[in-house]
Amino acid sequence: MSTKLLLKYDHIPNINRLEVYKQHGGYASAEKAIKTMTSDAIVDEVKKSGLRGRGGAGFPTGMKWSFLAKPPGVARYLVCNADESEPGTFKDRYLMERNPHLLLEGMLCSSFALGANTSYIYIRGEYFYIVPILEKAIEDAKAAGYLGKNILGTDYNLEIYVQVGGGAYICGEETALLESLEGKRGNPRMKPPFPAVAGLWGCPTVVNNVETIASVVSILENGGDEYAKLGVGKSTGTKLISASGHINKPGVYEIELGKVSVEEFINSDEYCGGVWKGRKLKAVVAGGSSVPILPTHLILQTSDGKPRMMSYESLGEGGFATGTMLGSGGFIVMDETVNIAENLYTFNRFYHHESCGQCSPCREGTGWMEKITHSIISGHGKNSDIDLLWDIQSKIDGKTICPLGEAAAWPVASAVRHFRDDFEKLIH
Amino acid sequence: MEVKFNEAALNTANKIISRYPDGKQKSAVLPLLHLAQAEFDGWLSIPVMDYIASILTIQPIEVYEVATFYSMFNMKPVGNCLIEICHTSSCWLRGAEDLIKHIENKLNIKAGETTADGKFSLKRVECLGSCGTAPMFQIGAQYYENLTTEKVDMILDDLDKSGKRRTYFDAVDLNAHK
């Protein structure tokens, strides 16, 4: 059995209720933080833990926190990014639905460390049914003195509010999320300034993913050094993996980073339980739709023959020529019957639909990629279309305000690089 | 007909507005549009959007530009049950297209259309974060997961009988159809 932190109490009935959560040590980290630690000490523990943003970018959380500007008399905000919309990713939903107090405790610890007295959970609108779950947990935590005024008898005050989005993948990008929270279209902002300096309503703001914030609870429970002992290299701690596609046991699994090989993750009964219907593995998208898709021989082994492990570094080994990324941990498995060009069409349609339209390369390029892929899979493609796809993606990559451009380009580049045959099969 | 929230909805609206600092009430526009859509027949007409602008003391254009950006807001009338079916990769891999064809045949409409009796609309949507329980659709707040054609028939037949408008504010059954 692997080490579990975030899903440690997942099997406990009613862990979503405050009293049950408390029976299992809940709010002990928050109590320790607020009553015995300074905010700087908490930031130090998070730095020592090596925790990296779990939304997909993998930026060191402690460093992000340390960038927060603290001008006197100006409010600071923590915003929890619960806009989980990366295709293949459903771990934050799982966590919020089943253990809302873990997120609230993480927000309490994090808000205290950052000096925020108001924090927002920005949740994608489609997850509307989770709003009452979070709001009930907030109400109960408030009644028990963990939120509101003079928390646990100290002079620290914190209010947490839930804000619903309206259906827009782009709002998972932190500056688009802030625009949306301000009641505007989700158009990403030019950076700098970064949100740590000018974020929500122009105030210093930290935006962290649900899983990142929840991880702070275990970091404070045993200390950053203990957390950093889990995992391998710069992939410390544990990560939630959302497993879907052609496997026997789709679901959310917690792994210790770097300790489980991709092969074990796919085939072990503890995780995916093998490819379904006794079929062979063809390809894996390991970290959500945006990361490069890899064929079996490259996802199971690095190009120099080492087993590929579930960690930021191992999945990234070989760069985009032979590697991919851990991303959000959205692990989509495809069996031998899938034509990768056909699957790519669903991604291209997705990114075209979700482009905010601000930058021409993304707005126009995603549309062209969708149309060309559609023409190929409908039997109207030409061989030159494959090179055209390559050309278009290369003209989006790196040329847009926000990373949606790259997110749309990489699936195309990797599909053409590794599965050109699949496109050619559809061209008559 | 005058567009106006009833007392309960107005209280909810005021509670939402109180979550933001003074002068930042514009932040309430998305939550209020959701509320308005649920209160006023499942879609956002110009008078409804103008009403939200008046509550928030912002220009109508500030509401229109937001409403048209986000895919959950309906800019024209929809049936009482809006079936939002996911067609992105993980759902596609597990048979979403067959399911969409099945629903189109059953309801005798194409995706993007509403049945003649106004009971159902079918809409293709992008990933709803239900990839591990694919294929799936959402009707109001309820997620219906691990769908098969048999399950779809059962669900739609039940909804056909009830005929009630479904909204994102509905209470849900967390274990239904998982």
* CATH, domain range B81-162: 3.40.30.10
Q: Are the beta carbons of B66 and A166 separated by less than 8 Å?
A: yes
**Residues A88 and B90: beta-carbon distance below 8 Å:** yes
Torsion angle, alpha carbons of B159, B163, B167, B169, to 10: -90
- pLDDT tens, position by position, A298-309: 999 998 999 999
Q: Are the beta carbons of A97 and B174 separated by less than 8 Å?
A: yes
Tell me the nearest-neighbour CA distance from A96 into chain B, angstroms. Answer: 13
- pLDDT tens, position by position, A328-342: 999 999 999 999 999
**Residues A368 and A398: beta-carbon distance below 8 Å:** no
Mutate to test the interface with A, among B22, B59, B63, B93 (most CBs of A within 10 A): B93
Mutate to test the interface with A, among B89, B91, B175 (most CBs of A within 10 A): B89
Find the CB nearest A165 among B28, B30, B171. B30
Residue B167: per-residue pLDDT: 96
Longest dimension (CA), chain B: 52
Find the CB nearest A244 among B29, B58, B90. B90
Q: Looking at beta carbons, which residues of chain A come within 8 Å of B127? A: 85-88, 169, 289, 350
Q: Are the beta carbons of B93 and A332 separated by less than 8 Å?
A: yes
Beta-carbon contacts of residue A407 (< 8 Å; ≥ 6 apart): A289, A290, A351
Beta-carbon contacts of residue B166 (< 8 Å; ≥ 6 apart): B80, B81, B82, B139, B140, B141, B142, B159
Instruction: For residues A186 and A284, give the distance between their C-alpha atoms in angstroms, rounded to a whole number.
Output: 30
Tell me the nearest-neighbour CA distance from B146 into chain A, angstroms. Answer: 11
Q: Does A183 touch chain B (CB under 8 A)?
A: yes
Q: Do domains B7-74 and B81-162 have the same CATH topology?
A: no
DSSP A338: -
Q: Looking at beta carbons, which residues of chain A come within 8 Å of B28? A: 183
Mutate to test the interface with A, among B32, B90, B98 (most CBs of A within 10 A): B90
Residue B1: per-residue pLDDT: 66
Q: Are the beta carbons of B28 and A75 separated by less than 8 Å?
A: no
Q: What are phi and psi of A254, to 5 degrees?
A: -100, 130
Tell me the nearest-neighbour CA distance from B69 into chain A, angstroms. Answer: 6
**Residues A207 and B55: beta-carbon distance below 8 Å:** no
Residue B175: per-residue pLDDT: 79
pLDDT-derived band at A428, boundaries 50, 70, 90? confident
Q: Are strands A159-164 and A330-335 parallel, antiparallel or unpaired?
A: unpaired
Residue B174: per-residue pLDDT: 86
More confident of the two residues B1 and A209: A209
Residue A249: per-residue pLDDT: 98
Q: Are the beta carbons of A201 and B24 separated by less than 8 Å?
A: yes
- Mark which residues 228-287 of A lie under 8 Å from B by CB: 242-246, 250-252, 285
- pLDDT tens, position by position, A256-302: 999 999 999 999 999 999 999 999 999 999 999 999 999 999 999 99
Report which of A155, A317, A3, A85 is spatially closest to residue B128, judged by C-alpha positions. Answer: A85
Residue B13: per-residue pLDDT: 98
- pLDDT tens, position by position, A115-173: 999 999 999 999 999 999 999 999 999 999 999 999 999 999 999 999 999 999 999 99
The residues spanned by each domain of chain B are 7-74, 81-162
Take residue A159 and report the two structure tokens written for it. Answer: 């209010």
Instruction: For residues A51 and A225, give the distance between their C-alpha atoms in angstroms, rounded to a whole number.
Output: 11
Q: What are phi and psi of A252, to 5 degrees?
A: -105, 125
- Mark which residues 125-164 of A lie under 8 Å from B by CB: 125-129, 132, 161, 163-164
Instruction: For residues B67 and B75, give the distance between their C-alpha atoms in angstroms, rounded to a whole number.
Output: 8
Take residue A19 and report the two structure tokens written for it. Answer: 């009293």
Q: Average per-residue pLDDT in chain A? A: 97
Residue A235: per-residue pLDDT: 96
Residue A61: per-residue pLDDT: 98
**Residue A35 CB coordination number (10 Å):** 12
Residue B162: per-residue pLDDT: 86
Q: Looking at beta carbons, which residues of chain A come within 8 Å of B29? A: 183
Question: What ranges in A329-382 are assigned the alpha helix state H?
Answer: 340-354, 360-377
Residue B178: per-residue pLDDT: 58
Region for B145 from its dihedrals, namely left if φ exceeds 0, alpha if ψ lies in -120 to 50, beta otherwise: beta
Please state at what angle helix A39-49 crosses helix A100-114, rounded to 10 degrees: 120
**Residues A33 and A113: beta-carbon distance below 8 Å:** yes
Mutate to test the interface with B, among A244, A344, A352 (most CBs of B within 10 A): A244
Take residue A232 and report the two structure tokens written for it. Answer: 């391998």
Instruction: For residues B27 and B75, give the distance between their C-alpha atoms in angstroms, rounded to a whole number.
Output: 21
pLDDT in single tens digits along all 178 residues of chain B: 689 999 999 999 999 999 999 999 999 999 999 999 999 999 999 999 999 999 999 999 999 999 999 999 999 999 999 999 999 999 999 999 999 999 999 999 999 999 999 999 999 999 999 999 999 999 999 999 999 999 999 999 999 998 899 999 999 988 775 5
Q: Which residue has the tokens 């002990």?
A: A28
| pLDDT > 70 in chain A, percent | 100
As its CATH architecture, domain B7-74 has: Orthogonal Bundle (1.10)
- pLDDT tens, position by position, A74-115: 999 999 999 999 999 999 999 999 999 999 999 999 999 999
**Residue A247 CB coordination number (10 Å):** 24
Q: Are the beta carbons of A169 and B126 separated by less than 8 Å?
A: yes
